[in-house]
Copies of this chain bind each other. A is one copy, B any other.
Amino acid sequence: MPPGLELSEEDLQGDLDRRRPGQSKVTTQRRERDRARILSGVFEGRTTGASIAVLIDNHDQRPRDYREIRDKYRPGHADYTFDAKYGFRDYRGGGRSSARETNVRVAAGAIAKKLLRERHGVRVVGYVAQVGAVRAAVADPAAVTLEQVEANIVRCPDPEAAARMIELIEQVRADRDSIGGCAEIVATGVPAGWGEPVFDKLKADLGKALFSLPAVLGVEYGAGFAVVTARGSDNNDPFVAADEGIRTLGNRHGGMLGGISSGMPIVLRCAVKPTSSIPRPQQTVTRELEPTTISVKGRHDPCLVPRFVPMAEAMTAIVLADHMLRQQALR
Binding site for B on A (CB under 8 A): 2-4, 39-40, 43, 46, 48-51, 55, 73, 75-78, 80-82, 84-90, 92, 95-97, 101, 130, 132-133, 172, 175, 177-182, 191-195, 197-201, 203-212, 214, 216-233, 235-241, 245-246, 248-249, 253-254, 256-263, 271-278, 280, 282-285, 289-291, 325-331
Contact A283 B180 (CB under 8 A): no
Neighbouring B residues of A84 by C-beta, 8 Å = 191-193, 246, 260, 262-263
Q: How far is the CB of A278 from chain B (nearest CB, A)?
A: 4
User: Does B204 contact A95, Cβ atoms closer than 8 Å?
Assistant: no
B residues near A290, Cβ cutoff 8 Å:
241
In the complex, are the beta carbons of B231 and A178 less than 8 A apart?
yes
Q: With A84-B263, A228-B130, A231-B172 known to touch, is A282 a contact of B236 (CB < 8 Å)? A: yes
Contact status B211-A203, CB under 8 Å = yes
Verify B218–A211 contact, CB threshold 8 A. Answer: no
Chain B residues with Cβ under 8 A from A48's Cβ? 86, 88-90, 95-96
Given known contacts A48-B90, A73-B246, A181-B228, A261 and B81 CB-to-CB distance under 8 angstroms: yes
Looking at the assembled complex, report how far the CB atom of A25 sits from the nearest CB atom of chain B, in whole angstroms.
Answer: 18
CA distance A230 to B263 in the complex (A): 35
Q: B75, B90, B258: which contacts A238 (Cβ < 8 A)?
A: B75
Of the residues B3, B253, B291, contact of A87 by C-beta under 8 Å: B3
